[in-house]
Amino acid sequence: MLGILYKSLSIKTRNPLSKMYRTHTCGELRTTDFDKEITLSGWVQTIRKFGSITFVDLRDRYGLTQLLFSESLNEKLDANPLGREFVLQVKGKVNARSNKNANIPTGDIEILVSEFSILNRSALPPFTIQDDTDGGDDIRMKYRFLDLRRNAVKKNIELRYAVNRAARNYLHQHNFIDIETPFLIKSTPEGARDFVVPSRMNPGQFYALPQSPQTFKQLLMVSGYDRYYQIVKCFRDEDLRADRQPEFTQIDCEMAFVEQEDILQMFEGMVKYIFKEVKDLDYNLPVQRMTWEDAMWNYGNDKPDIRFDMKLTNLKFPNTIFQSRKKASEVSPAGFPNAIGIEGGTGFPVFDNAETVLAIAVPGCSDYSRKQTDELIDWVKRPQIGMGGLAFIKYNVDNTLKSSFDKFFTAEKLKSLAEKCHANPGDLILILAGKEERTRKAISDLRLYMADRLGMRNPEEFKLLWVTDFPLFEYDNESNRWVARHHPFTSPKPDHIEVMINNDPSIADADNYLQHPYANIKANAYDMVLNGNEVGGGSIRIYQRDLQEKMFAALGMSREESQHKFGFLLGAFEYGAPPHGGIAYGFDRLCAIIGGSETIRDFIAFPKNNSGRDVMMDAPSTIDDKQFDELQIKLDLK
Amino acid sequence: MLGILYKSLSIKTRNPLSKMYRTHTCGELRTTDFDKEITLSGWVQTIRKFGSITFVDLRDRYGLTQLLFSESLNEKLDANPLGREFVLQVKGKVNARSNKNANIPTGDIEILVSEFSILNRSALPPFTIQDDTDGGDDIRMKYRFLDLRRNAVKKNIELRYAVNRAARNYLHQHNFIDIETPFLIKSTPEGARDFVVPSRMNPGQFYALPQSPQTFKQLLMVSGYDRYYQIVKCFRDEDLRADRQPEFTQIDCEMAFVEQEDILQMFEGMVKYIFKEVKDLDYNLPVQRMTWEDAMWNYGNDKPDIRFDMKLTNLKFPNTIFQSRKKASEVSPAGFPNAIGIEGGTGFPVFDNAETVLAIAVPGCSDYSRKQTDELIDWVKRPQIGMGGLAFIKYNVDNTLKSSFDKFFTAEKLKSLAEKCHANPGDLILILAGKEERTRKAISDLRLYMADRLGMRNPEEFKLLWVTDFPLFEYDNESNRWVARHHPFTSPKPDHIEVMINNDPSIADADNYLQHPYANIKANAYDMVLNGNEVGGGSIRIYQRDLQEKMFAALGMSREESQHKFGFLLGAFEYGAPPHGGIAYGFDRLCAIIGGSETIRDFIAFPKNNSGRDVMMDAPSTIDDKQFDELQIKLDLK
C-alpha cells in the first residue's frame, strides 16, 4: 500500500518546491487541484500503452500519480522511450480521471502531460520494485539502494523516524536534554568485546567504540544534568546471532534524584506516547509488573509474552533456584519441591528421575492427530531445543484423558495431574522433564511455538510488561566467579546491600553456588518487555564510591584493575554524586516490534549481514600499506 | 548568571518529580508558593553562618534556592556538617525573604528547613564551581564532570541542545526525515585520513569510521528519500590544529530534485529559525551572496567576516588568479594588473618588485603613534603571518598625508594612492606587498586583527553570507595533479561540464597550472559563512555515472581504483539517480558562534585535547594481549 504516513510525518511539503523540478509531489494532487498547471518529478513505476495513448504511474516518496501521454507526444516518446525506474519530469494539467482508483489518495486525478523530460535513465533493476518483489535476500542487500525504494521497506524507515521523533518530543516535554557523549573512548571490556581503533597520534594505544554511553551518562548525573537522553549508536563485537548487528541504536536515558518507581512511570509514559503518535493507539491498560522470579516461574523466561496466558505448571523443580518459592511451594498444590505431587509417586521414570517437570495446557488442541503430536516431539528434539522427548495428555472435550504415558498412570492419577495443570476439556497438556535450566527454556520456547501455531501472537496487539528484581549476579563457571547480570554499575536492592557488604564473594563450593548468599541478592534493575521481547533495560545505579569498589571486587577485579579502568568514575563519586538511575531502549528492536516485525534488519537503512559485512559497499576491506605504516600496526594472521 | 534557559527549553519540569527526592527544582519556587511544604534536592553552593542561623544556597540544573537552617537544627548540623558540593535533601516551608536577591528568579523566597539529609558527601573540589573559577584548563579537563557543573559551561551545553532541537524541528516541518547511516563503513581515503577498526570476524580486514555520511546520503537520494537529515558524529584522523576534534558533529542534509537556489533558501531559512528559537533574534536581512572570486578579491579569503567593511584595495595582482577579473580591472580605477596605477610608476621597489600589492583603510587610526605602527609591523612579521614588513599612510583629519615611504612618493602621488584605497580623512591605510597567496592571506588576517583591535566584531551581532562558485579543483603540487576542492561528488557548474569533459586533466606545465582549463572550472558549491566562520558547506552533486567517472579520472584515480572504492555509488547511478544536492553544517562550530565563542571545545560535553586524548578517562590506552590475539594484529612501533 502506497502513501502510508505516520501521524508525526506530514503529508504536504510545507515549503515551495523547486520551481525548476517540481511544483507538487506525486502524493498530493486531488480533485480540488483540477485544471492546475503543475510540474512533477519522480520515477516511472509502470507504463501502459492503450492504442495511441500511454499511461505512466509516476512514483516519489509521497505517492503515485497517473500521467496521461496523448497521441501528440508519441513522436517524442518514440524518440525518447521510457523505461521502469527512469527519472522523469513532466509538466501538465490536472485532469479528472475517468477510471478512478480508490486504492490510492491521488486516484481521482491524472496529469494530462504537455511536456516531459527524462532526467536520468535506469538499467533494468535486478528485481522488481514492488511489495511482492522477486528479489531474494542477498540480491536485495547488494542493491540496498533499490530495495529501499520498495514501499514495504520505506514504511519501516518512515516508522523508525516517527518513533525517533515521538521519543524525542516526549523526552523534551519532560525536560530531558540530549547531550552527545564521545565515540572514541577507553577500552574497558566487561562482558562483550570492544571494537577498537588504533590511535595514530598515540602509537601503540587504542580507542574503543562505546558499547553504551553508560559511564558518561552517570558522569552527567554527577555534573547535575538531571535528565539526559541520547538516541545513539553503540557497538559490540559479538559473534552475530541471527538478527544482531555489530552497530545498533539505543534510546539512552538517565535521571538523577529518582528511585525505581519514578523511572518506570516516566518510561512507560514514553512508550505509550510513542504508541499514540506512531500507531494512533491509546494504550490505557496499566502496565503489568512482574518479578524476575515470577516470570521464570510462570513463563520459563525473563521476557514473557503476556498477550496470551498458557502459564507453566511447575510440577517439580529443584530447591535452589527459586529460593523465595520454597515457602510458596508448601502451600501451592501445583508446586512440589521434590516430587510431582502424585500420591505414592508416579512410577514413570521420566518424571521420577528428572530434576524438573514442567507443563503447559494448550487450549483447543486435545484433538491433535498422531502426526501433529509427532511434529511436536520432533520439534522439542531439534538441537536448538535439545530435549529428549515430550510427554502429553489429551484432555478430551468428553472429559476423557489420553496420555503418552498411560501405562504408568491410572486414569485417576492422570485426572489429578491434569487438574494440577489447570487444564480444561479440549486442552492438550504438554510436559517436559529434565535438567532445570534447559527444560525451563524449552517449555518457554514450546509455549511460544504453540502460540504461534495457534495465531495467539497478533503483531498488531501490544502488551507491555515490567520485569523487576533480577538477580544482581550470575555465576560464571569458566572462572568460578560472579559476573554482573546487568552491569557493574547496578545497585543491589537496598535491603540486600548488607548481604553484599558482609559476605565474601569467593565461591568455595562451585557445585552449590546457588547456596552462596550472593546468588539471592536482587538488583534494583528492570526490563521493559513488549510482546515477549526485551525492548528496554535499566537500573538504579550505585553512587557511593565504597559500594562501587565492593562491586568491582565482587566481580574479581583487583583494586589496580578497577582503578585503571574506572578510576574516573570512582573519582567522580567522591565529589557529590546524586542518587540516579536510567534505562536504555534497543531502538532497532523497539521499531521492529511496533512495526509488527521481529526482524531488526528490516528497520535499518543499511544493515550488515550475519558476518558483519556490508555487502553493498563491500566492507570491511583491506587497507593500504600507508595506513598500516602510519598506525604502526601490522597483521598477525593465524 | 544562573537560570539562563533558552526558548526551546522549558523552565518547569512538566512531570511530578519523585515524591521521595524532591517536589520542586531549585529554580522554580516563587512568592506564589508561600507556605507550601516542599522537598528539594541539590548541591551545596555556599554556606553562610550568621550567629545561630545558617544560610545555604542549594543548586541544581534549574537554579539556586536559599535555605534557612534555624537554631533548632544546629545540633543536627554539628553532627552532620555540610560542605561545598555535598548532595543535600531538605524538607521545609517556602518563606518570604527579608533580604531579597533581584539577581536570581528565586530571589524573593527562601526555604525554612524542617528536616535535612545528606545524600552524599563531597571532597573539596580541585577548583571552585563558579563562573570565574580558579581552575586552569588542564585541571578542568581532567575533572570535566565538575567543570560541567559550572554555569558558564552548562549554558553552552544547553545552548547546544537548543540548536539541535531547533534544527530538527525546522527540518521536520520541511519534510526532512532523519535516517541513520552506518558507522562501520569502508575505508576510501580521499583527502583526510580515516580512523580504521580491525574486524575480528573478517581477519585482515578493517572498517573505517565515516568522515561524513556523504555516499550514503547520496544513495538515499537514489532510493527516493528526497529530504534526508541527520545530526551525526563524523571522524577525521588529522593532526589537530587548535580547536579541531578527531570526532565532531555535523547537521548533514541532502535533497533531491533541487538546484542550488532551492538549497540556499531552505538552509538560510534553517539558520534564521535557529536564531529565532535559540536567541529570540529576528534575522530579517536578506542573506548576502558573494562569489568565491569576489570574496578573495574584496576580503582576501573565502569566508569573509562582513560585520564590518574595510574591503581590500587590489593595487596590483597577478594575471592568473582572478581570470574573470582581467576585464573588470581594465575599467576599474582601483585594479591594475601589472602596475600600481600611479602615473610614471612608484619608484618604490617594495611595490614595484612585488607580485601583489594590497591595502586596507582602517577607520579612525590615522593618529596611531610610532609605537602603535611598530606593533602592527611586528604583528605582520610574526611567523604565522610571515610578511617582510608593512607600509602605511596616515590620512590625517586635516587632509594631510604621511606615509612610511615618503621619500619615494610625492604628496600628489600619495593623495592619488589614498584615493584609490577609498580612504577618508582619519583613516590609517595599511599596505602589504609580496607573493600573491601569502600576501592576500596576510592582509585578510590583518583586516580581522584590526577589526578585533577596534571592537568591530561583536559576538552578539550575526551576519550570514553565502559564498558560491568555488573552483572545482585545487592544484596539488606534491603529485602534480588536481584534487577536489570540496569532494569528488561535487558537480561542475552546468556551463563548465563541457570544459571538464573536453580537456585532458594532465598538467604539462606545472609552473603555469593556472593556465590549464581546469583551473577555471567552477563548482556548483556553496559555503555558509557566519561572522567570518565557515559553518556549512555543500554542493549540487554529480548524478550521472559517466560524469562521475570523468571526475574520478581527473583526480588521477584509475578505473580499477574508482571501481574498488566507489563501485557501489557508480552502480547506483545506473538505476535512475535523480538530480540532488545537499549541505553539511559543522554543528560544534555553529553552536560555538551562536554562543558568542569561537572555541568549539567549550560546546562539547567531553572534548579531547590537541593530542586527541581524553584526559579525564585517559583514552586512548593500551589493550590486552587477548584483544590483539582475537583481532589478529600486532604493534609495529617505529
A18, A204, A578 member nearest B257 (Cβ): A18
Count of the separate structural domains present in chain A: 3
Instruction: Report if residue B427 sits inside a domain.
Output: yes
- Pair B564, B515 in one domain: yes
**Contact status, residue B439 vs residue B520, Cβ threshold 8 Å:** no
Distance from CA of A157 to the nearest CA of B (A): 7
Tell me the CA distances in angstroms from B307 to B303, B458, B494, one per residue in order: 12, 8, 32
Report CB contact under 8 Å: B181, A207: no
Instruction: Report if residue B445 sits inside a domain.
Output: yes
Kindly report, residue by residue over A53-84, the tens digit of the pLDDT: 999 999 999 999 999 999 999 999 999 999 99
Return left, alpha or beta for A341; rule: phi > 0 is left, psi -120 to 50 is alpha, else beta.
left
Instruction: Report if residue A365 sits inside a domain.
Output: yes
**Can you give the C-alpha Rg of chain B in angstroms?**
30
- Pair A317, A451 in one domain: yes
Question: Which residues of A are less than 8 Å from B18 in CB distance?
Answer: 257-259, 261-262
Distance of CA A316 to the CA centre of its chain: 32
- Pair B318, B449 in one domain: yes
- Pair B447, B348 in one domain: yes
Burial class (CB within 10 angstroms; exposed 0-12, middle 13-18, buried 19+) of A343:
exposed
pLDDT at B513: 86
Task: Considering only the C-alpha atoms of chain B, give the largest distance between any 2 of them, rounded to a whole number of Å.
Answer: 95
Q: Is B589 helix (H, G, I), strand (E, B) or coil?
A: helix
Burial class (CB within 10 angstroms; exposed 0-12, middle 13-18, buried 19+) of A239:
exposed
Helices (H) and strands (E) in chain A, counts: 17, 23
**Which residue stretches of chain B have pLDDT < 50?**
1-16, 327-339
- The whole domain housing A429 covers 308-457
Report CB contact under 8 Å: A543, B120: yes
Interface test with B, best of A207, A253, A563 (most B CBs within 10 A): A207
- CATH code at position A389: 3.30.1360.30
Last-in-domain residue among A429, A457, A485: A457
In this structure, chain B runs to a length of 638
Report CB contact under 8 Å: B636, A633: yes
Question: Which residues of A are less than 8 Å from B220 in CB distance?
Answer: 145, 148, 605
End-to-end C-alpha distance for chain A, whole angstroms = 51
Instruction: Report if residue B375 sits inside a domain.
Output: yes
Report CB contact under 8 Å: B197, A196: yes
Report CB contact under 8 Å: A633, B635: yes
**Contact status, residue A127 vs residue A139, Cβ threshold 8 Å:** yes
**Contact status, residue B233 vs residue A183, Cβ threshold 8 Å:** yes
| A55 CB-near residues (< 8 Å, 6+ apart) | A46, A47, A48, A49, A66, A67, A68, A69, A110
Instruction: Report if residue B414 sits inside a domain.
Output: yes
- Pair A488, A563 in one domain: yes
Cell numbers at residue A566, please? Answer: 574506572
To 5 degrees, how large is the angle CA B248–CA B251–CA B256? 140
Distance from CA of A471 to the nearest CA of B (A): 25
Last-in-domain residue among A85, A120, A155: A120
Instruction: Report if residue A134 sits inside a domain.
Output: no
Distance from CA of A42 to the nearest CA of B (A): 8
Question: Which residues of B are less than 8 Å from A168 in CB distance?
Answer: 168
Report CB contact under 8 Å: A575, B143: yes
Report CB contact under 8 Å: A184, B246: yes
Per DSSP, A24 falls in state: S
**Contact status, residue B113 vs residue B91, Cβ threshold 8 Å:** yes
Distance from CA of A195 to the nearest CA of B (A): 7
Nearest CA in chain A to B154: A225
Backbone phi and psi for residue B314, each to the nearest 5 degrees, phi listed first: -85, 90
Average pLDDT over residues A97-121: 94
Which candidate, A181, A194, A267, A272, places its Cα nearest to that of B200?
A194
- Pair A374, A510 in one domain: no
Question: Which residues of B are less than 8 Å from A262 in CB distance?
Answer: 17-18, 20
pLDDT at A614: 95
**For residues B415 and B419, what is the distance between their CA atoms, to the nearest angstrom?**
6
Helix pair A151-173, A260-279: axis angle to 10 deg: 140
- CATH code at position A73: 2.40.50.140
**For residues B454 and B444, what is the distance between their CA atoms, to the nearest angstrom?**
16
Report CB contact under 8 Å: A621, B206: yes
Which candidate, B590, B504, B578, places its Cα nearest to that of B544?
B578
Q: What does the H/E/C string look like for A50-68?
A: ECCEEEEEEEECCEEEEEE
**For residues B26 and B570, what is the distance between their CA atoms, to the nearest angstrom?**
58
Interface test with B, best of A267, A268, A613, A621 (most B CBs within 10 A): A621
Question: Which residues of A are less than 8 Å from B178 in CB distance?
Answer: 161, 164-165
Cell numbers at residue B380, please? Answer: 605582520
Lowest mean pLDDT, pick from A97-106, A194-203, A224-233: A97-106
Kindly report, residue by residue over A423-462, the tens digit of the pLDDT: 999 999 999 999 989 999 999 999 999 999 999 999 999 9
Predicted ipTM of the assembly = 0.93
**For residues A324 and A333, what is the distance between their CA atoms, to the nearest angstrom?**
16
Report CB contact under 8 Å: B201, A612: yes
**Can you give the C-alpha Rg of chain A in angstroms?**
30
**Contact status, residue B129 vs residue B150, Cβ threshold 8 Å:** yes
**Contact status, residue A28 vs residue A16, Cβ threshold 8 Å:** no
Instruction: Report if residue B627 sits inside a domain.
Output: no
- Pair A335, A446 in one domain: yes
Cell numbers at residue B108, please? Answer: 524573593
- Pair B338, B451 in one domain: yes
Nearest CA in chain A to B619: A186
Distance from CA of A44 to the nearest CA of B (A): 9
Burial class (CB within 10 angstroms; exposed 0-12, middle 13-18, buried 19+) of A349:
exposed
> Is the per-residue pLDDT at A323 higher than 80?
no
Cell numbers at residue B448, please? Answer: 580581522
Report CB contact under 8 Å: B636, A634: yes
Last-in-domain residue among A427, A457, A487: A457
Report CB contact under 8 Å: B605, A208: no
> Is the per-residue pLDDT at A107 higher than 80?
yes
Report CB contact under 8 Å: B186, A85: no
Nearest CA in chain B to A23: B257
| A385 CB-near residues (< 8 Å, 6+ apart) | A379, A442, A445, A446
> Is the per-residue pLDDT at A155 higher than 60?
yes
User: How many beta carbons lie within 10 A of that of residue A114, not counting itself?
Assistant: 14
User: How many beta carbons lie within 10 A of that of residue A411, not counting itself?
Assistant: 12
- Pair A313, A419 in one domain: yes
- Pair A432, A322 in one domain: yes
- Pair B451, B483 in one domain: no
Question: Which residues of B are less than 8 Å from A86 in CB distance?
Answer: 576
**Contact status, residue B92 vs residue B69, Cβ threshold 8 Å:** no
Q: Return the exposure string of B141-171: e unless at least 16 CB atoms fall within 10 Å of the residue's CB, then b.
A: bbbbbbbbbbbebbbbbbbbbbbbbbbbbbb
Report CB contact under 8 Å: A205, B635: no
Instruction: Report if residue A490 sits inside a domain.
Output: yes
- Pair A346, A485 in one domain: no
Report CB contact under 8 Å: B576, A157: no
Distance from CA of B204 to the nearest CA of A (A): 6
